[in-house]
Structure 1
Amino acid sequence: MKQCVKIGEGTFGEVFSTTNASGDTVALKIIPVEGSDKVNGEEQKTFGEILHEIIISKELSSLKEKQHNQTHGFIGLNDLHCVQGCYPPDFLNAWDNFNWKKGSENDRPDFFEKDQFFIILEFEFGGVDLENSNGTLMSLLVAKSILHQVTVALAVAEQELQFEHRDLHWGNVLVKTTKQKKGSFLLNGAAHSLETKGVLVRIIDYSLSRLEIDDLTVSCDISKDEELFMGQGDYQFDIYRLMRQENGNNWSNYHPHTNVLWLHYLCSKLLSMKYRGSGGRGAKDMREELTRFYDNVLQYSSATEALRNCPMFQ
C-alpha cells in the first residue's frame, strides 16, 4: 500500500496504481457502494448497478483469449474484491499528492465509516491516458497507430459482443511504450497485424457501455440523466447528444455508429495535440491523412466498416 499512487478519478471512484503480490504494477479502481453518504454529489451505486460494469470489464478483458474475435485493446481485468472499512491512510496520502499536483474534482474520501463497502477492480497497468500524455512524446505516426488500435479493438468487440463504448473520451484511452513492433488481432476468424509505432493502447471505463452475451443485453440506461446531455465547451459533450439522437434515447438497442462518433472525436483530439518533429514532409503528409480520416469517417456505419474500408488502415 505504501507504494500506491493516485493516477485517475471518475464521478464514482478513484484509481490508484500499486504493486501486487507478484511484483507487477496494477491499477486499482475503488468504487464505494451501498452507502448512504453521497460521493462527489452523487448517490452511491448499489451492488446491482455496479454489476453492469463488472460484467462488461470481464467480457472485454477475455477478448484477448478468444479464438474467433481477439484483441488485447481493452484493459485486462486481473481480479475483483469487495472490502469493508475506512479509506487506508496510505491511499489518502496518495489522494492528497494527486490533489496537490493536479487538482481533484472529487471529495477527499476520508468521510467513509467502518461499515462502508467498496468494490475494487484490479486491472493491468495500461499506461497514461491520452488527455495527460501531453502529446510531446508522440509523432503523428504514433497518433495514426493509436487511432488504428482503438478502431481495431472496437471492431473486434462489435463482432463478438455487439459492443458500444459510449464514453470513449481521451481520458479513457491509455497509452504505454513498447518494444513490440507489431500487434495482432483476429476479426471473424481472420488473423491480422498492425504496426504499433512503439505504443500499446488500452481502452478503459465501461460505466456507460453496452454489449450482448448469449442474447442478454447488458447496458446502462442513461435516458433520464439529463445532466450528461447538457455539457458545453468540448466536442465530447456533443457526442452524448448525437448518440441520443441516433438511438432515440433507447440505450438497450445496438447502434454501432456511436463507436464511429467517438473515433471522429478521438481524431479531432489527436489532430489538436502538439507533436515532436511536426515539421517536415512526412509529418505534413500524415496530418493530411488524419485530416482525411476526420472528414470521412462518419460515413461508416460501425468501427468494423471503418476498419475494413477506410484508406488509412489499408
Structure 2
Amino acid sequence: MSKQTSLRKYGKQSKKPKADRLFVDLPQTPMRNQRQKVIEEQDDDNSDKKVLEQLVGGISAMAIEDQNIAPPDSLRRSPRRKGQQALLKPPPPLTPAQLRRLPVTSPPKPEIQEQLKDVEVEKELQVLSWADICPPGDKIVKIAEASYAEVYRVTNERGTSIIKVIRMESPIKAQTKTQQKSGLVDEEPHSESDLMGELKISEWLADIPGFVVYKERYIVQGKACKELLETHQAFHKKLKRQDPDRLQFYPSPSRYLPGTKFLVVELGDAGTALEDFELESADQLWDIFFHVTIALARAEAHIEFEHRDLHEGNLCIRRITEPIPTADRGRSSCFGFSGLDVTILDYGLSRAHADYEDQDSLPIAYDLERDLSIFTSEHAPQCEVYRRMRSFMLRGDRVCLPPKSHKTPYEEGIDGPICWAQHEPYTNVLWLAYIYQWMVKHFKGPKKEVNAFKRATKEFWTYLNPDAADHVPGFGSASDIVRFALESGWIEEDQLMGMRDEVEKSILSVLATNDLGREIDEETFAEAYLRRSPRRR
C-alpha cells in the first residue's frame, strides 16, 4: 500500500544535523583488549552484514521447502499489505555446510557461495577466558535469564556493562544424579545463527529511543572462574526463595570444561530490572508504562516491531533526574515527572521488518513453532501471555486457549498455517497489559496512590484488558494506546518529539491516520481507537 500524500503535521522539525539527531551515547566499556577488538570489528562488521543479508534474503524459502511447510502463497498476509509474502525464518540453526546441501530452485550466485564457504564466526571473533571477563578486582553479578541466555553485570574501574551469555555447541560435564533428581533442565546450546536475527533487529532499533544498544561481541571459552560460580549460586538461591517450584534451566558453571564455549554480547548498563525495582509512587507507574508504550509505538511505525517476550525481566529502569514535585510542574499531563528512564531488552523472540514497503524484502522473526513448550509451560505468569499470542494467531480474538491446545506446530489458523513472520502488533498490546497488571500488583508505595492510578485508568483498562468481553473495543497496537493517552491528556504532543525527528514524524503520522491510510479529521481522531478490534480486518 502506498503512503498517503496528505498528513496532519505535528510538532516542529529539528534543525540539528542528522548525525547529531541520531547520536547514541554509549557507556564506556569495562572490557580489556579494546585496541585489538576495534581492529577486528572493522573487518567483521562488513563480512557479517553481507552474509546476514544473504541468509535472511535468500535462504528462508529454501528452509520452508526443506521443512515441507506450505509455500508462500498459502502463508498469512499482512493486514496492512495483503500482497506481501511473509516467510519464515529458517527453523533450525544452519551451518555453511548445511546451507550448501539444501535443495535450491535456482542456484545462488558464485560470489555468495564463496562467501558462505568462508563463514566461520568463531574464528572471526576475539576469544577470551572467564578470567579475562572478570579478573581480580572486578565484580560480576548474575541479574537475569533471558530467552536463551544468561545476563550478568560486570563492574570495574572503567565502568559498568551488561553481558548476555549464550552457550554454543560445545562439550559440558554431564549432570550429577543430584542434579537429575532436582529437575535441572539444561538450556540447549546455540550457534550464532540463532542470535543473528536479534543482532540485526538491534541494529534497526539503535536509533529509536527506549531500546538497548549492543556494544560488541566475542567468544568466551574454558572453565569458569570462582566469581562466576558464586554469583550463579547466589542468583538461584534468591529465585528459589521467591519461587520454590522454579526449575533451573542453565547449567552450573562448575560443569564448564576447557572446550565449553559461549557467545557473549556486551551491552550498556540500562539500570535495574523492573522485577527488582521498588515501585513507590504513581508517577513511576505512569512513566514506566508509557515510556515502554511510546518506545513500542515508535518501533511499530518505524520497523513493524513486535517484542513478543516483554516481561518484567526485560525492562530496565534507571534514574536520570530527580522527581519533579507537584508544585513545580508546568503541565497538566501525567507523564514525565518521575525522573526515570526505561530501556527494553532482549529481542530473542522478536519480529521486525525494516524494509516493509519493499515487496521483495523479508521480515526477521524468531519462529516460535520450533519449540511449543513455551506455550505449554505454566511455570510463571508470563507463560499465559505466550499462549494468548498463539491463540490470537489461531483464532483472531481474545480467547486464550489452554496449554493442551498448543501441541501441534504450524497448525491451521484463521488465515492459514501459523507464521510468526506475520506482523501482528496486537502482541505488543498483550505484553503492555501484562506490564500494567504486574506493576499494579507489585506496587510498594502508598495504597492511595495506586488506587488513584487505577481509578484514572479504569476506562483505559477496559480496552486494554485481554479478558474483556467480545463486544468491548480493544487496542490493536501500541500506537493505538499512545493515541488514547494523547486524547486523554496524559501525554502532551511535544513529549513525543525528541532528537530523532524522523522517527517521531513516523509515529505521529501513524497516530493521525486510520487503517486505510487516510487522514483522520478532528471529529473522528479522538474515537479512532475505539473502532479497532484486536484483529484489524
Q: State the TM bucket, normalised to the shorter chain.
A: 0.7 to 0.9
- After superposing the two structures, state which structure 1 stretch, 199-208 or 303-312, moved more: 303-312
Q: Pick from 471, 484, 493: which aligns with 1:309? A: 484
Partner of 1:84: 221
Q: Pick from 190, 207, 213: which aligns with 1:45? A: 190
1:8 aligns with 2:154: no
1:131 aligns with 2:275: yes
Confirm or deny: 8 A CA contact 1:86 1:113 kept in the other structure: yes
Query: What SS does the aligned partner of 1:30 have?
Result: strand
Change (3 A) 1:293 1:170: farther
Partner of 2:464: 297
Partner of 2:437: 268
Q: Pick from 141, 155, 162: which aligns with 1:27? A: 162
Paired AA for residue 373 in structure 2: E
Q: Deviations over 1:91-141 (max 9, x none)?
A: 222223333444482331222222222111111111222222243xx2122
Q: Pick from 203, 214, 224: which aligns with 1:58? A: 203
Q: Any gaps of 5 or more consecutive residues in structure 1?
A: 64-69, 183-192
Change (3 A) 1:304 1:211: same
Inter-partner Cα distance in structure 1 for 2:304 and 2:323: 29
Query: What SS does the aligned partner of 2:152 have?
Result: strand
Partner of 1:165: 307
Partner of 1:251: 420
- After superposing the two structures, state which structure 1 stretch, 31-40 or 270-279, moved more: 31-40
1:148 positional shift: 0.4
* TM superposition score normalised by structure 2: 0.50
1:244 positional shift: 1.2
Partner of 2:53: none
1:176 positional shift: 1.5
Q: Deviations over 1:78-103 (max 9, x none)?
A: 22112332223322222233334444
Query: What SS does the aligned partner of 1:306 have?
Result: helix
**Relative to total residues, which structure has the larger strand share, 1 or 2?**
1
Confirm or deny: 8 A CA contact 2:197 2:364 kept in the other structure: yes
Inter-partner Cα distance in structure 2 for 1:87 and 1:53: 26
Count residues in correspondence: 291
Inter-partner Cα distance in structure 2 for 1:268 and 1:130: 13
Alignment of 1:72-221 (within 5 A): 73-103=210-240, 105=248, 106-135=250-279, 138-179=280-321, 195-214=336-355, 215-221=361-367
Query: What SS does the aligned partner of 2:255 have?
Result: coil
- Cα RMSD after superposing both structures: 2.6
Query: What SS does the aligned partner of 1:110 have?
Result: helix
1:16 positional shift: 1.3
Confirm or deny: 8 A CA contact 1:140 1:275 kept in the other structure: no
Q: Deviations over 1:138-164 (max 9, x none)?
A: 212211110000001101111111100
Confirm or deny: 8 A CA contact 2:320 2:340 kept in the other structure: yes
Inter-partner Cα distance in structure 1 for 2:457 and 2:257: 50
Paired AA for residue 363 in structure 2: T
Confirm or deny: 8 A CA contact 1:140 1:287 kept in the other structure: no
1:287 positional shift: 2.3
Q: Deviations over 1:185-220 (max 9, x none)?
A: xxxxxxxx9515121111111111111133331111
1:295 positional shift: 1.8
Inter-partner Cα distance in structure 1 for 2:269 and 2:381: 28
Partner of 1:227: 373
Partner of 1:185: none
1:243 positional shift: 1.1
Inter-partner Cα distance in structure 2 for 1:276 and 1:10: 28
Change (3 A) 1:36 1:53: farther
Query: What SS does the aligned partner of 1:152 have?
Result: helix
Q: Deviations over 1:206-235 (max 9, x none)?
A: 111111133331111111422111133765
Considering only CA atoms, is the larger Rg found in Structure 1 or Structure 2?
2
- After superposing the two structures, state which structure 1 stretch, 295-304 or 139-148, moved more: 295-304
Inter-partner Cα distance in structure 1 for 2:223 and 2:458: 49
Confirm or deny: 8 A CA contact 1:5 1:16 kept in the other structure: yes
Change (3 A) 1:101 1:224: closer
Q: Any gaps of 5 or more consecutive residues in structure 2?
A: 1-133, 175-183, 241-246, 325-333, 356-360, 395-417, 466-473, 493-537
Inter-partner Cα distance in structure 2 for 1:244 and 1:229: 8
Query: What SS does the aligned partner of 1:200 have?
Result: strand
* TM superposition score normalised by structure 1: 0.83
Query: What SS does the aligned partner of 1:43 have?
Result: coil
Paired AA for residue 45 in structure 1: H
Confirm or deny: 8 A CA contact 1:277 1:283 kept in the other structure: yes
